[in-house]
Amino acid sequence: MKAKRPTLREILRVIFVYREEARIDLFALFPWLKSFFAHRKYFALIRSFGDLAFTVLILAGLFGPQDPSRNAMLFIAWGVWWTSIVLSWFFVGRMWCGFCPFPGLGRLLQRLKLSRNKWPPRWLSKYCAYLSTALFALIVWAEAVFHMKHSPLATAILLLLILLGATALASLYRGQAWCRHFCPLGKIIGSAATLSLMEFRALLERCRGCQTFACKRGKDGKPGCPVYLGAYAARNNLICLVCGHCVPLCERDSPRLFLRHPLKELIINKGRYLTCTYIIPFLMASQFARFVQEKTSWYPGFKSSLFGSEALAFSFLLAFFFALFLLVIRLGAELFTIYEDELFGRFSPMVPVLVPLAFTGELVYRLEYLLHEMGQFFPVLGRQIGVPLLTGLTFEIPEKAIHLFLSLILLAGLAGACYTAYLLARREFEGLVPTKNLVLIIGLAWLITAFYLYFVRIY
């Protein structure tokens, strides 16, 4: 029976009014969407296009002009590609990971039976949050210290190193072990996907009694979940790639794609996942460090005091802001008055409050580069490929328009942070958080947002 189409009011209520049980089954509403996931050829075509574009991008970085004004791969990599990934977090969760080109070569090796095809060891699961955070720290550090947004060669080398890591793990372990355990971008995307408007879940009442677990193990020669999860075990957006492998495998028509309230997962989890506990403060620290490096007048003098070393100066800023945001998380936990439960275990209630600020902050940082540089894309491309006609197709977005747009995004993140704090204090921890403490928590969110606004020259 065809699902009753929800009204616009019902859809808006799901998105803007928090009710834990409220969600809309998008597969029932749009059968073509389910067909898209079930027919793997669509994913294969998109992945093939992505692999080709990725290859061209790397070749352009390695062998193309090294002058930033003559190589469009920088804008495509740091402006279009990375900004698109960040935008996808808010709408489709980790679906980007289902199309990501990094595991492509590894999948080919596995199809050719050139992999050991072992199960990943337990230590990967135990320490992956620390290892992936360290790798992300290394990427952010290298991006800033080597000024990768201005270096085609450095950008290409970074992409090759990530590709090498994904391929090496694919040659050792089955599935996409890199994506599940190591990928620093995957951990960031997984943490951000907790804010997504969509969630990929199984109808658990249909999973009861299942003996095959085909969604996880595969069947009839078709591979199962590439990250060893299975639809029945997808309880959050941290790991599930929204790749749809489980849709054609399930005999009970259980996997579903739901529209939900974007703060739902933050409220339910309350900051109890180790991944978010480390990723969020480091991501925010890296944003503040990058803003200081690129925007403040005093940074050059600060760098000079450290022997002119970009590495030392940026490392100091990164460590300082990381410690500062860890302190904010600790202070927030004290203000919530509850951060441990006999059944729930330890959790960090301030982390969910910071999540909307962290990821709107990253979006603003990437969008600012995109909006400032997009007017020069065609001239740069024209110089690169030798088409003079393109060099005249230049334009500039007014600075005030950019500032206004970015400020609205930051204020949307602030609204999400304040609403999260309110829901935690007044619903989840009802009667435990004094009103003055809630005011202080919201005040911390306002203060952090004020610094973001200052850095993008809105203040």
- Sequence-ordered list of residues with C-beta below 8 angstroms from that of 30, at least 6 positions apart, any chain: none
Stretch 68-73: mean pLDDT, rounded?
A: 94
From 229, 262, 295, the end of a domain falls on: 262
Domain holding 368, by residue range, is: 269-455
Please check whether residue 3 lies inside any domain of the structure. no
Same domain, 325 and 252: no
Stretch 179-196: mean pLDDT, rounded?
A: 86
Please check whether residue 6 lies inside any domain of the structure. no
Same domain, 293 and 438: yes
Please check whether residue 139 lies inside any domain of the structure. yes
CB atoms near residue 398 (< 10 Å): 8
- pLDDT tens string 125-160: 777 778 888 888 899 899 999 999 999 999 999 999
**Please, are residues 371 and 402 in contact by the beta-carbon 8 Å criterion?**
yes
Stretch 317-341: mean pLDDT, rounded?
A: 90
- pLDDT tens string 249-294: 998 999 999 999 999 999 988 877 656 677 889 999 999 999 999 9
pTM for this model (two decimals): 0.91
Please check whether residue 289 lies inside any domain of the structure. yes
Stretch 198-212: mean pLDDT, rounded?
A: 91
* Dist CA 120 CA 111 (whole Å): 18
Query: Shortest CA distance to 353 belongs to which of 241, 238, 440?
Result: 440
Query: Shortest CA distance to 224 belongs to which of 417, 40, 420?
Result: 40
- pLDDT tens string 107-129: 899 989 888 888 888 887 777 77
* Dist CA 353 CA 431 (whole Å): 19
Own/partner long-range contacts of 403-409 (Cβ < 8 Å, ≥24 apart): 403/456, 403/457, 403/458, 404/458, 405/367, 405/371, 406/364, 406/367, 406/368, 406/456, 406/458, 407/453, 407/456, 407/458, 409/360, 409/363, 409/364, 409/367
- Sequence-ordered list of residues with C-beta below 8 angstroms from that of 70, at least 6 positions apart, any chain: 64, 380, 383, 384
From 234, 262, 290, the end of a domain falls on: 262
- Sequence-ordered list of residues with C-beta below 8 angstroms from that of 184, at least 6 positions apart, any chain: 132, 133, 135, 136, 138, 139
- Sequence-ordered list of residues with C-beta below 8 angstroms from that of 308, at least 6 positions apart, any chain: none
Q: Is 299 exposed, middle or buried (0-12, 13-18, 19+ CB in 10 A)?
A: middle
Beta strand extents in 26-104 (DSSP E only): none
Please check whether residue 79 lies inside any domain of the structure. yes
Number of domains in the chain: 2
**Please, are residues 206 and 252 in contact by the beta-carbon 8 Å criterion?**
yes
Same domain, 151 and 282: no
Same domain, 344 and 436: yes
Mean of per-residue pLDDT scores for the chain: 90
Q: Report pLDDT for 412.
A: 96
Q: Report pLDDT for 459.
A: 44
Residue 3 has pLDDT above 60, yes or no: no
Own/partner long-range contacts of 122-127 (Cβ < 8 Å, ≥24 apart): 124/177, 124/181, 124/182, 125/181
Same domain, 303 and 438: yes
From 238, 262, 286, the end of a domain falls on: 262
Please check whether residue 32 lies inside any domain of the structure. yes
Same domain, 274 and 258: no
**Please, are residues 148 and 78 in contact by the beta-carbon 8 Å criterion?**
yes
Same domain, 304 and 329: yes
- pLDDT tens string 232-245: 999 888 889 998 88
Please check whether residue 200 lies inside any domain of the structure. yes
Please check whether residue 135 lies inside any domain of the structure. yes
Same domain, 336 and 195: no
Same domain, 280 and 422: yes
DSSP 193: G
Stretch 351-377: mean pLDDT, rounded?
A: 94
* Dist CA 145 CA 312 (whole Å): 9
Q: Report pLDDT for 274.
A: 59
Residue 163 has pLDDT above 50, yes or no: yes
